[in-house]
Amino acid sequence: MTASCDEVISAALAKANDDWTCRPLDTGWLLVTTSHQYSDGDHVELLVRRDEGSVVVSDGGEALARLELAGVNVDHGRARELWRRLLRAHEVELHAERLSVHGTLNETGSLINNMANAVANIDGLRLMAAPPPNPRFADRLVSFLQAEFEYVTEAPQLHGRSGVLYRATAAVGDSNQETFVQAVAGESAQIRQRAIEHVFTMFSDINGTLPHERKLVILSEGEWKPEQTRLLSTVAYVGSWSYREQIVRFVRDPTRRQPRILTPVQEQVPFEQYP
């Protein structure tokens, strides 16, 4: 049997009513938690004060504070235009960085509902915040490793035979037999070449104390020359950000009996040909 409209509406209102709460504050205001939600899932809370013949509803400054935390400035530009448009549409006032509406006691319900809608809609302006700067490739790699493995140490120290102290990107895997990982990236060919030379020098310098099986180079997205990859494979295993499943498989494999280049390239050097 198909439910009637009354039954559907009653069920929806009953569920919404479950999310509404109210408690008095020492300041004389009532703190009302509504069924409306911010984009992060928090419920919209409002302050309500009733006098003899009127009521005032305020957001307590929450809407503007959340936008500021998100990096949205409503004092200029497109954000200011949309901010003002929303204030007018919901007929709310701004005083001392707080939104408020006033009305008669009979309007209490509609004023609270209108303010809750206004605050939730205004929260959408956070989408105008400038995107955060892209994290460094090394930071992205560490985050990936931390999501895959229980043991991850950032910036471990390595001592070279020359006496130079190096810092790898991370140590991962078994705490007793760590695999030292170095991220290699660069926005230009020149920067990528310098990064190649640095990691080659580092892993060459520690060859006397660390076997190949415990050294892993991870190349970022982008074009890497086959000769660069083969050069690095003489001092370490070489993986690619584009083939992260190969990185996970290598670290978890205790035998490490596989080609040193952990990517599906055409010119693999067989395992037996390495010194």
Q: The CATH number of the domain where 115 resides is what?
A: 3.30.1460
Put simply, whether the predicted model's pTM sits higher than 0.75 gets the answer no
* 207 and 90 within one domain: no
* 89 and 35 within one domain: yes
* 146 and 123 within one domain: no
Q: Which residue has the higher pLDDT, 9 or 171?
A: 171
- The answer to which of 66-75, 81-90, 212-221 has the lowest mean pLDDT is 66-75
Degrees, nearest 5: CA angle 177-179-185: 170
| 3-class DSSP assignment, residue 158 | strand
* 173 and 105 within one domain: no
Rounded to 5 degrees, φ, ψ at 252 are -85, -10
* 142 and 120 within one domain: no
What pLDDT does 153 receive? 94
Element (H, E) at 231: helix 226-233
Residue 267, pLDDT > 80, answer no
What does the pLDDT look like over 24-57, one tens digit per residue?
Answer: 988 889 999 998 988 888 889 999 998 888 999 9
Please give the C-alpha separations between residue 105 and each of 55, 109, 266, in angstroms, as whole numbers.
Answer: 6, 9, 78
* 96 and 30 within one domain: yes
- Write down which residue in 75, 101, 128 finishes a domain: 128
pLDDT averaged over the chain?
86
Q: Looking at residues 175-186, what average pLDDT do you find?
A: 92
Please give the C-alpha separations between residue 25 and each of 2, 50, 96, 113, 190, in angstroms, as whole numbers.
Answer: 45, 13, 20, 20, 64
What pLDDT does 196 receive? 93
Residue 272, pLDDT > 70, answer no
- Write down which residue in 86, 103, 128 finishes a domain: 128
Which pLDDT band holds residue 222 (cuts at 50, 70, 90)?
confident
Q: Which residue has the higher pLDDT, 266 or 222?
A: 222
* 168 and 67 within one domain: no
Residue 178, pLDDT > 80, answer yes
* 157 and 67 within one domain: no
Residue 220, number of CB atoms within 10 A of its CB:
20
What does the pLDDT look like over 120-148, one tens digit per residue?
Answer: 999 999 988 877 677 889 999 999 999 99
How many domains would you assign to the chain? Answer: 2
Task: Round to whole Å and give the CA distance between 216 and 154.
Answer: 14
* 267 and 149 within one domain: yes
What pLDDT does 5 receive? 76
For helices 226-233 and 189-205, give the axis angle rounded to 10 degrees: 10
| 3-class DSSP assignment, residue 164 | coil
* 237 and 111 within one domain: no
* 259 and 223 within one domain: yes
What pLDDT does 121 receive? 94
Cite the beta strand spans of 163-254 per DSSP E.
165-167, 170-174, 177-184, 215-219, 237-240
Residue 274, pLDDT > 60, answer no
- Write down which residue in 101, 128, 155 finishes a domain: 128
Task: Round to whole Å and give the CA distance between 139 and 155.
Answer: 11
Which pLDDT band holds residue 211 (cuts at 50, 70, 90)?
confident
Residue 265: give its domain's CATH number. 3.40.1350.10
Domain, as residue range, for 99 = 5-128
What pLDDT does 142 receive? 95
Q: Looking at residues 238-257, what average pLDDT do you find?
A: 88
* 142 and 85 within one domain: no
